[in-house]
């Protein structure tokens, strides 16, 4: 319908920046460290412009696909107190990689089914396959040991960027999150099928988006079983339900029913509201020469990250295995978890076929990654290869999506309250540490027409999110609820989104004092209509720290045209 949707480069209109930034003065602060510090370092809003392809004077405007080279794999960025093995590069290949080819269309379709509802036969099959994989020699690229290392290599910066040896490749917090993990699971599944001698073997998915699938599937929780991992949070064995906002402690007095409802609303927020456009779902562009972590897509931030954290063992320094990327692949539950993440990509596209489309940018499509296939051959896989699962010969069992109807309700009695507040101006960057910070953010355009909204999504950009990477961080972002965000909680419409990061230690080649830096985007078109705030010239944004200490570089409104 709109030609712009097929433009080769994301076009984002940067029409204006916030005009006034204020911090709410009346939050009862329990420490003097948080709030409105200004250390004078500038945020990265110009960097975001550069990443999105609009030339910025004095900055290299990067272009081209990201190419992975086996010879450019080296030490990864492991956190302190990491558990061995420390080297996660794949075994060398005596021959150059072959290019990916699609499986024969006559191959049986591999159906990926709900883990918690597998028949006893299929469950036994799956368990046996993982046991066979674990029994392979560690030097075999198809062994469980090497499969676990793949996640470590791509997700902990073991590969250097071709042409930019000072920079590593980190697929999280970028537009490669979905395709990289899809290729990873594609081969993981085919290797398991090969070991079983079953070409129709499908990798089950952990159906955490449906109430009956929210507990950890019981097959993983049986100590001594092949799917068990001792490095997990023992409090999160079934029947406890996944908490999609887990922040290091289990919510007291929350019934299973309430938890399920909160999770369904979280799914709506991240897969419907905040995933309105391709880059909002997939993540921000990432090209050779770019610093890592331009910005994660909605699903990656949560529930994906929270599922990792919720599974990890809090008694371990880095919440191994699942709670930190370098070791996540050592827990067999990573794969059904990511099978559901991958399924959500298909679900997202089907929810709105006009706007929920994949990037057409050749820099994305032609980027490539290396995997060993089920015959132990090294294969170069491009993002373009990973877009059509019917060509990849797998499919997902159809499951009712209860969360599509779980839009969070507006909290009554909050509107206009912010108008009566006395706000004290401060400058970004601000430090979030224990107390909430509110800022008034100007909206360049108000009450746009339906057509204008169909063309452009209004997006709140939380930019220059910085932290030292040595701790888990989380903060919540509320719209127009500066005083009573407690009342909104995690289930109200005023909660626009949550930022959460697992421990992210080490950025080789980058100046470590910069720590970890990224950004987050929250979609506003529908949200502001629901809050009856679409005609307002400003919104009040309240950032509430929940865990760790974070610097925020700035807030602004963008209009995303994709």
How is residue 489 annotated by DSSP? T
**What is the β-pairing status of strands 423-425 and 11-13?**
unpaired
Contacts of residue 442, defined as CB under 8 A and 6 or more positions apart, other chains included, come to 16, 17, 18, 19, 20, 537, 538, 557
Which pair of structure tokens corresponds to residue 440? 């008034």
Integer Cα distance of 473 and 520 in angstroms = 13
Place of tokens 């127009």: 480
507 is in an annotated binding site: no
C-alpha dihedral sign at 86, 88, 89, 93: positive
- 164-189 residues labelled b (16+ CB within 10 A) or e (exposed): beebbbbbbbbbbbbbbbbbbbbbbb
| Cβ(282)–Cβ(178) below 8 Å | yes
Integer Cα distance of 309 and 323 in angstroms = 4
- 275-310 residues labelled b (16+ CB within 10 A) or e (exposed): bbbbbbbbbbbbbbbbbbbbbbbbbbbbbbbbbbbb
How many residues are there in the chain? 562
| Of 378, 394, 387, 319, the residue nearest 146 (C-alpha) | 378
151 is in an annotated binding site: yes
Which pair of structure tokens corresponds to residue 15? 């029409």
C-alpha dihedral sign at 214, 224, 373, 82: positive
338 is in an annotated binding site: yes
236 is in an annotated binding site: no
282 is in an annotated binding site: no
Contacts of residue 128, defined as CB under 8 A and 6 or more positions apart, other chains included, come to 196
Taking CB atoms within 8 Å and a gap of at least 24, the contacts of 416-424 are 417/482, 417/483, 417/484, 418/480, 418/481, 418/482, 418/483, 418/540, 421/24, 421/26, 421/482, 421/483, 421/540, 422/25, 422/26, 423/22, 423/23, 423/24, 423/25, 424/22, 424/23, 424/24, 424/25, 424/36
| Cβ(130)–Cβ(332) below 8 Å | yes
Integer Cα distance of 446 and 533 in angstroms = 9
Integer Cα distance of 50 and 61 in angstroms = 6
3-state helix, strand, coil in the chain (%, to 5): 30, 20, 50
Integer Cα distance of 430 and 407 in angstroms = 31
| Of 285, 262, 330, 310, the residue nearest 83 (C-alpha) | 330
DSSP string, 67-123: B--GGGB----PPTTPPSP---PPPP-SSPPEEP-PPPTTSPPEEE-BGGG--HHHH
As annotated, the binding site includes 151, 172, 181, 304, 308, 338
As annotated, the binding site for Cu cation includes 151, 172, 181, 304, 308, 338
């Amino acid at each position: 319908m709109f030609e712009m949707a097929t433009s080769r480069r994301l076009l984002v209109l940067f029409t204006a920046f916030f005009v006034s930034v204020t911090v709410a003065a009346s939050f009862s602060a329990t420490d003097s460290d948080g709030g409105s510090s200004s250390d004078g370092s500038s945020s990265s809003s110009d960097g975001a412009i550069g990443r999105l392809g609009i030339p910025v004077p004095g900055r290299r405007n990067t272009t081209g696909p990201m190419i992975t080279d086996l010879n450019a794999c080296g030490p990864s960025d492991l956190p302190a107190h990491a558990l061995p093995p420390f080297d996660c590069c794949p075994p060398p290949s005596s021959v150059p990689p072959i290019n990916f080819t699609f499986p024969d269309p006559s191959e049986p379709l591999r159906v990926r089914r709900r883990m918690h509802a597998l028949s006893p036969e299929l469950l036994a099959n799956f368990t046996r396959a993982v046991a066979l994989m674990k029994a392979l020699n560690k030097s075999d690229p198809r062994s469980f040991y090497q499969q676990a290392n793949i996640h470590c290599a791509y997700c902990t910066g073991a590969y250097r960027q071709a042409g930019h040896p000072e920079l590593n490749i980190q697929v999280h917090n970028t537009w490669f999150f979905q395709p990289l993990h899809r290729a990873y699971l594609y081969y993981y599944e085919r290797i398991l099928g090969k070991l079983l001698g079953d070409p129709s073997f499908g990798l089950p998915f952990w159906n955490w988006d449906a109430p009956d699938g929210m507990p950890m599937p019981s097959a993983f929780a049986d100590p001594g079983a092949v799917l068990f991992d001792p490095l997990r949070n023992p409090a999160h064995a079934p029947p406890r339900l996944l908490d999609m906002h887990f922040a290091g402690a289990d919510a007291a007095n929350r019934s299973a029913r309430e938890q399920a409802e909160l999770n369904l609303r979280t799914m709506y927020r991240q897969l419907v509201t905040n995933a309105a456009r391709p880059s909002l779902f997939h993540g921000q562009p990432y090209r050779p020469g770019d610093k890592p972590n331009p910005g994660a897509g909605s699903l990656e931030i949560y529930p994906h990250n929270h599922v990792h954290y919720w599974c990890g063992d809090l008694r371990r320094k880095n919440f191994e295995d699942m709670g930190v990327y370098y070791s996540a692949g050592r827990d067999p539950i990573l794969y059904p978890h990511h099978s559901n993440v991958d399924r959500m990509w298909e679900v997202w596209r089907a929810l709105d076929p006009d706007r929920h489309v994949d990037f057409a940018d050749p820099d994305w499509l032609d980027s490539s990654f290396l995997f060993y296939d089920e015959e132990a051959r090294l294969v170069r896989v491009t993002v373009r290869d990973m877009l059509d699962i019917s060509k990849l010969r797998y499919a997902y069992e159809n499951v009712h999506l209860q969360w599509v109807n779980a839009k969070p309700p507006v909290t009554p009695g909050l509107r206009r309250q912010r108008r009566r507040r006395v706000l004290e101006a401060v400058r970004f960057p601000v430090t979030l540490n224990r107390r909430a910070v509110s800022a008034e953010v100007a909206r360049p355009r108000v009450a746009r027409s339906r057509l204008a909204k169909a063309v452009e999504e209004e997006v709140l950009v939380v930019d220059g999110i910085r932290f030292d990477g040595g701790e888990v961080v989380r903060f919540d972002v509320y719209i127009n609820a500066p005083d009573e965000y407690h009342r909104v909680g995690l289930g109200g419409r005023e909660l626009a989104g949550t930022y959460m990061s697992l421990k992210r230690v080490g950025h080789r080649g980058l100046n470590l004092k910069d720590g970890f830096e990224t950004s987050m985007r929250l979609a506003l078109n529908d949200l502001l209509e629901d809050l009856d705030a679409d005609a307002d010239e400003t919104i009040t944004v309240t950032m509430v720290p929940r865990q760790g200490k974070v610097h925020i570089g700035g807030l602004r409104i963008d209009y995303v045209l994709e």
